[in-house]
Amino acid sequence: MSTPTRQKRLTPNDVAALKGQQPIVSLTAYTTPMARLLDSHCDLLLVGDSLGMVLYGLDSTVGVTMEMMIAHGQAVLRGVTHACVIVDMPFGSYQESKEQAFRNAARLMKETGCDGIKLEGGMEMAETVQFLTQRGVPVLGHVGLMPQQVNTSGGYRSKGHSDAEAQTIRRDAKAIADAGAFAIVVEGTVEPLAREISESLTVPTIGIGASPACDGQILVSDDMLGLFNEFKPRFVKHYAELAGVISTAVETYAAEVKARRFPGPEHTFKPRAKS
């Protein structure tokens, strides 16, 4: 009996090859239903550690665990047939040593079936990125604003305003690219600098709060869909206002339940006729 052919997803190499060809479309995904909705429209889906804040109500991404990333990575992979899927390495799972990073990256890839991992860091992580890529782990880098370092970097503020800070980000991006990352997320970085970095690197840059000149863009899906109205970062554009739609739908549902208009006869099961 023949084995069914599995549809081929985009690979990290495919994503890297898009530099100079077409902009890379990326969004975050944390669940199977959302992954199914996003898959055909995206080149890359990121199972981001932002799920700690988006789904679990944490104040930052620092509290996210390997178990959380694996569970959501598995969920996303069940809903994807087209996009390249990358899973974030959570805080504390790779910073100690390159050997620790490989063990945890290998675990993520084995247990989720993802196409690669993402980690934050610049020059200090270059040796680790090289160690991983030489051992078969595709790496998506992340420089500029790095949420896992929020406790030491002065909070969630844009980066690259001073000459010294700009030079550090330039060096970080080059070091991670030279170490073998297939692409680099550039977050919260002033526009001229993000543009300069994108033009100088041979690997794609994926911007979030960076520059339209980046080789691709990524947003947190829940932000882009308008599911959060409490705070809207400058770099987010709402392509829908689903929070209001959901609130209205739930309000209508509650009113119908209280008035006993739901469920109606069409929503209930009738006894089968006796033969």
| Residue 253 placed within a domain | no
Q: Is residue 4 part of a domain?
A: no
**Bond from prior residue into 263 cis (ω within 30 degrees of 0):** yes
Q: Determine, yes or no, domain membership for 117.
A: yes
pLDDT 10s per residue in the chain (275 long)?
444 344 689 999 999 999 999 999 999 999 999 999 999 999 999 999 999 999 999 999 999 999 999 999 999 999 999 999 999 999 999 999 999 999 999 999 999 999 999 999 999 999 999 999 999 999 999 999 998 987 776 677 888 899 999 999 999 999 999 999 999 999 999 999 999 999 999 999 999 999 999 999 999 999 999 998 676 778 889 999 999 999 999 999 999 999 999 999 999 999 988 87
CA geometry: angle at 56 spanning 54 and 60, to 5°?
Answer: 70
Lookup result for tokens 């040796």: 127
Q: Tell me how many domains the chain contains.
A: 1
Q: Does any domain span residue 52? A: yes
3-state secondary structure of 153: helix
Domain for residue 249, yes or no? no
Domain that holds residue 20: 12-243
Residue 262 lies in a domain: no
68 part of a folded domain: yes
230 tagged catalytic: no
Residue 258 lies in a domain: no
CB-CB contact of 79 with 72 (8 Å): no
pTM of the model: 0.93
Residue 134's CATH number: 3.20.20.60
Output the known binding site.
49-50, 88, 118, 120
Q: Among 111, 187, 199, 230, which one carries the catalytic annotation?
A: 187
Six token digits for residue 268: 């209930």
Q: Which residue ranges make up the annotated binding site for 3-methyl-2-oxobutanoate?
A: 49-50, 88, 118
Residue 116: phi and psi, rounded to 5, are: 170, 180
